[in-house]
Amino acid sequence: MSTQPVSRRARPAKAPLSRDAIVRTGLEILDRDGLDALTMRRVAKELDTGPASLYVYVSNRDDLMAAMLDQALAGVPLNWDGTWREQLQSLAGATIEAMSRHEGLAAVALGSIPTGENALLVLDRMLALLKQGGLDDTSAAWAVDLLHLHIAASAAEQSSYDTKEFTEETHIGEADRRFAALPADRYPMITSLRQALLSPGDRDTWALNVLINGILHTPAP
């Protein structure tokens, strides 16, 4: 039995290629298959095109991941209730959550200056809140850089738990077993402070408060 060739005109039309389509596809691959699977060739295959076509819209994989990070930040609420400090804490927490949701994106934030549209909206709001706290222009500018590093590092830590598919409690439990086996004569401070080192608590809020208090009392020269 003979088969008739399928006309190209009978095939479904491909969705138009765009930077937004490439970024969405990159996020889908990242969330479904992990960071190692995210390549320009893989994104092109998902979009039924060649890798060279992508470079019209994104410069390289790093540019793609930066755009994916900015897309992840699109859902971060900018306005919160409370004092300027409470609002800053809420904004930082929401940004950490958004960055950590996708493997590898927090590391992009650690190694770059925010320039994407959504990242800049978060940055702009943080600057406004810091100014409400009474900081001068230079101190606010330097402070937001310090806060950005803290947020990205916290998100990277949280993302690592999600990627390895174990909880923070499991990680702490493993560390506790290791610390418990340490000889006290060789590691006197770690063994004596073992409970404090690994105790649960709202360390994220404490760390942010330490940063904010230090910023308020250390104006830029």
Please give the average per-residue pLDDT across 18-46, as a whole number: 95
Which residues make Cβ contacts (< 8 Å) with residue 17, sequence separation at least 6? Answer: 47, 49, 53, 54, 56, 57
Delimit the domains of the chain by residue range: 14-58, 77-216
Calpha distance 33→46 (Å, rounded): 13
What pLDDT is stored for residue 145 in this prediction?
94
Q: Is pLDDT above 90 for 194?
A: yes
Q: Is pLDDT above 90 for 74?
A: yes
Q: What angle do CA 53, 58, 63 make, to 5 degrees?
A: 145
3-state secondary structure 154-195: HHHHHHHHHHHCCCHHHHHHHHHHHHHCCCCCCCHHHHHCHH
Which residues make Cβ contacts (< 8 Å) with residue 32, sequence separation at least 6? Answer: none
pLDDT-derived band at 181, boundaries 50, 70, 90: very high
**CATH number of 77-216: 3.40.50.10480, 1.10.150.120, 1.10.357.10, 3.40.50.920?**
1.10.357.10
CA 181 remoteness from chain centre: 34
pLDDT-derived band at 1, boundaries 50, 70, 90: very low
Per the structure block, which two tokens stand in for 94? Answer: 């929401």
pLDDT-derived band at 51, boundaries 50, 70, 90: very high
What pLDDT is stored for residue 215 in this prediction?
95
What is the second-level CATH architecture of the domain 14-58?
Orthogonal Bundle (1.10)
What pLDDT is stored for residue 163 in this prediction?
65
Residues 196-218 pLDDT 10s: 998 877 888 899 999 999 999 99
Calpha distance 27→161 (Å, rounded): 19
What pLDDT is stored for residue 221 in this prediction?
87
Which residues make Cβ contacts (< 8 Å) with residue 53, sequence separation at least 6? Answer: 17, 44
What pLDDT is stored for residue 48 in this prediction?
94
Q: Is the pTM of this model over 0.75?
A: yes
Please give the average per-residue pLDDT across 151-169, as a whole number: 78
Calpha distance 26→20 (Å, rounded): 10
